[in-house]
Structure 1
């Protein structure tokens, strides 16, 4: 059902921090009659929130800071434990949450995965909040975090055992809705379950990129990726390269040189097909448009992306 709405008047009540409006409108009810109503709506823009988690340590990163509205409504200290979050401003949700994560927590994450979006207080606030999760590792730690001084932020970074965080929801120590939603998402989807079986890992790196099609440089790239695959294999997983499939198939199909019609038709699509059957991607080596596309596609599909061997769990 799509209700009929007619805006009668729009009045700005406050534009001090963000915009508070009084909206007067006519609303057509289900019986066909019209009713004039007035509501106040606070427009502070949209936001993004993220839960950082570490499978190996079984921990999550949260923050604690003073929130005046909670102090006004029963929170004796005004301090609130939350997942890292911020307003989009002019950024995309993904760019926003990467920026906020580094500013607030000191972790620089790139592989963020969107898990949903929601209106958080639809009776009075226009904001849509975009929800993300991301795996963090110690090598991603680039600074102390704590927020931005010019925005008057004073944020304490908390690294908590996942089980403790869930218990804090149960006993009321964590009362922030977005944080509770993300912790419950992590619990329901087993985000912190340790990897207990071999993963099928696609090795994504440069093949022709920046080689000028020099056979010696192409061979060096293949050697680099094969060495990465061997290391992954020795960690207990099943590595695969798109080149392992594509190159013999293209030769059998009649390809005679790099970049000919058969090469272009089969080379990149082979890796795309493989990706759908892989659990994760390991990005190695230097610049490569094709490898970066594999990473972006993997992230969009919610697959794990490793950028360092230290991120890969060792099973063997």
Structure 2
């Protein structure tokens, strides 16, 4: 039996969920996504992400955090490297958590000049993030994984 498969080979990616334990917020973005818009939905909350294009995941995460969120990141905590869409794509995404503070918001974010990404930046209170996780309204799977990892690894953020 012969079977035809279509495969998307666009490289690998990185995603980082920045969190500020002092102000008790996470930084998320929205960006118009063709699949979401085609389904008639409004833009969804996502963690900062980008394609590796040959860069080391930590380096690319820092670059994307500055471009998309205007955020300077220090140490990154690796959560997992996951298959983004295994039935049709070779892409794997390295997932990270990264602590930041108010002093690390050094730029406006919004995306790289000339790329017309239409990115909006939001600082979401941790309690709202937990509500989104528990209520099923955080619908980007990779962002959901990162939010759950934050909740498991840093439970004290909610117990304070």
TM-score by length of 2: 0.92
What is aligned with 2:27? Answer: 61
Does the CA-based 8 Å contact 1:54-1:192 persist in structure 2? no
Q: 1:126 aligns with which of 90, 97, 121?
A: 90
What is aligned with 2:72? Answer: 108
What is aligned with 1:70? Answer: 36
Moved over 6 A (4+): none
Residues 39-58 of structure 1, C-alpha deviation per residue, up to 9 Å, x if partnerless? 11111110000111111221
Larger RCO of the pair (alpha carbons < 8 Å, separation 6+): 2
Runs of 5+ unmatched residues, structure 2: none
Larger radius of gyration: 1
* Residue 43 of structure 2 is aligned to residue 43 of structure 1: no
Distance in 1, matches of 2:88 and 2:57, equals: 22
The 5 A counterparts of 1:204-223 are none
Residues 72-99 of structure 1, C-alpha deviation per residue, up to 9 Å, x if partnerless? 1241x3x111001110012111111000
* Residue 123 of structure 2 is aligned to residue 159 of structure 1: yes
TM-score by length of 1: 0.48
Runs of 5+ unmatched residues, structure 1: 1-34, 197-316
Using a 3 Å threshold, how does the CA distance of structure 1 residues 177 and 194 change in structure 2: closer, same or farther?
closer
Distance in 1, matches of 2:58 and 2:2, equals: 40
Structure 1 counterpart SS, 2:74: coil
Does the CA-based 8 Å contact 2:74-2:100 persist in structure 1? no
